[in-house]
Amino acid sequence: MRVRSKRRTARLLAAVLLAGTLAAIPARAADDTATDYIIKYKQGAAWLQSDDRWPFEVVSKNTMQRLRFLGLLEWYEPDGVGELLDDAPAFYEPEQWNLDLVQASGAFRSGHHGGGVRIGVVDSGVNPHPDLGDRLLPGCNCMDDNAKTEDTADNYGHGTKVAGLIAGAGERGYIGVAPEAEIVPLKVTDGKELTVSAICRAIYAGIDDFGCNILNLSLGVTGEFEALREAVDYAEAQNVTIVSAVGNAGRTTVYYPAGYESVIGVGAVDQNGDISSRSNHNESVFLTAPGVDVRSTAYAGAYSLCTGTSFAVPQVSGATAVLLGIDPTLTPAQLRALLARSAVDRGDEDWDAYYGYGILNVAGSVAALTGEEEPPDTPCSFLPESGPARELRNNTDAPLDVIYLLAAYDERGVCLGVTSGTLTLPAHGTVAILPPPDGARYGQFVCETATMTPLAKERKTP
C-alpha cells in the first residue's frame, strides 16, 4: 500500500507540473479534428500511466501535446473510429442454408461441437437468449477507461446475432457452428460506430481477464493504428486467434484488424456460394462464409436474418472453436493452415482476392485434423478421384433414382450453363461419372428424380 501511495503522489505531482508549466505551449497535433489520443509512454516514463490495466492510455489533445513536448511518449495517434460490419437488416426466415453450405453437419454428427473453447465477442454486447443458454458467460464493458463493468447489454442487436451464429443451439436445432462453445461478451459500442481504443481494451481484456481462446471481431476500421497492431500481435503471442470482417463496401478498401497477416479476414458469400457484391476484395480476405440473409438470434429473444461480412465471421470463429475442441494445443498459425487447406476453392486457383482460400468447410477441416474420412452429409456423396472417372455413391439401403446436374461457372462463381442426365444408384452402390475437362470450373449436383430434393453437391476449381 505504501508503494502505491508514492506512485499516486508522483502522478499527481507530474500532473500539476504539466498543467502549470506547459500551459502556453502551442498546439501541434497530427489531427486537429481528434478530441482524444491513444498514447504509449516510453519505458522510463511508464510510472505516469494512470491505469495499469492497458498498455496504452487515452488522453486529451492538450495532454498529448504536453507529454510529447517533454519527450515522454514512445508513440501517439488519434483515437480512430471504426464500425460494426453488418449490412441491410432483414426479417426472420426458418432456413438454415448456411450450415449446409459450410458443411457443419459432418462435425455435428462426429460430436465435435467446440466444447471447452471460449470465444470473446468484441461487439455491441450480447443479450441472453434461449438458444445461448448457460454458454453465455459474464463479460465486460470496454467502451472507455471505466472499463471492466459488467454492463454488456446489447442495445443495438449486432452482438447477439454474432453470438448465435457461433454457439446458438435450442429446441429447433443448431444455429451456431460450435453449439457447445462458451461466449464472453466484450462490449465496445452501443451503436454502429466504435473507437480503436475500445477494440484494443477488449482484446487485452478477453485474453488477460477472461482466458478467451478466440476473439471474434465483426467490425473494422480503415487505416492502421499502432495500438491496434500491438494488441493483435499480443493475441498471436498469447496463442489467441483473431477472426475479423473484411468490410461491406464491395471495394478494395482494407479494414483492420482483418488486414493484419495474423488475423483471419472473412468475406461473405450468398446461398449459391457466390461472392456477395458487397464483400470487399483485397489481400485481407483469407476465407469466405455465408453472409447474406443468414438466420440467427435476435437481441429481443426471437430470430432475424442478417447480412454482411460481420455474420460470415462468427461461422469461421465457430469452426476454429470446433478444431480447438479437438486439439487445444493448436496454434493460430496451425488453425489458419487447417482452414485454408480444407476450404472449398472458388475463384482463382488456391487464393484470390474475392474468396481468399475458398468457402469455409467445417467437416473438411475436422477431417484434415483427425485424418478421418468426412462423414457423408447427404444420402449421396462424391468419392475421391481415382483415374479419369469420378464415382457417385448411394449411402442408403434402397436404390435411388436421381437427376445429375453439371454446372460450369466463371472465376467469380457466375453460372455459365447446366447439363443434366438421369441415373439409378443401387443400394450402397456406386456409379461412375465422367468429370469435365481439366481446367474447368464446375459444380456437380444430384437431386431425387421424383421430388427434386437435393441429395449431394460438389464444387471444384481445378
Beta strands in 36-167 (DSSP E): 36-41, 57-60, 73-78, 81-84, 118-123, 140-141
Given 79, 123, 154, 270, the catalytic residue: 123
C-alpha cell at 143: 467502451
Read off the amino acid at residue 385: E
* 129 touches 90 (CB < 8 A): no
Strand, coil or helix: what is 167? helix
> Given its phi and psi angles, is residue 229 left (phi above 0), alpha (psi -120 to 50 degrees) or beta?
alpha
3 state SS of 320: helix
| Sheet order of strands, 73-78 included | 57-60, 36-41, 73-78
> Taking the CB of residue 342, how many other CB atoms lie within 10 A of it?
23
Q: C-alpha distances in angstroms, 17 versus 5, 11, 49, 63, 65? A: 19, 10, 16, 12, 14
Return the closest-CA partner of residue 274 out of 412, 86, 410. Answer: 412
- Residue type present at position 437: P
Catalytic one among 86, 158, 197, 377?
158
Cell numbers standing for residue 210: 477472461
Is residue 158 annotated as a catalytic residue, yes or no?
yes
Q: Which of 105, 310, 365, 381 is catalytic?
A: 310
Encode 107-121: b = buried (16+ Cβ within 10 Å), e = exposed.
Answer: bbebebbbbebbbbb
On whether the CB atoms of residues 374 and 363 are closer than 8 A, the answer is: yes
Longest distance between any two alpha carbons in the chain, whole Å: 90
Give how far Cα 213 sits from Cα of 118, 295, 332, 462, Å.
5, 25, 10, 35
Task: Quote the DSSP letter at residue 440.
Answer: -
Looking at the annotation, which residues are catalytic?
123, 158, 310
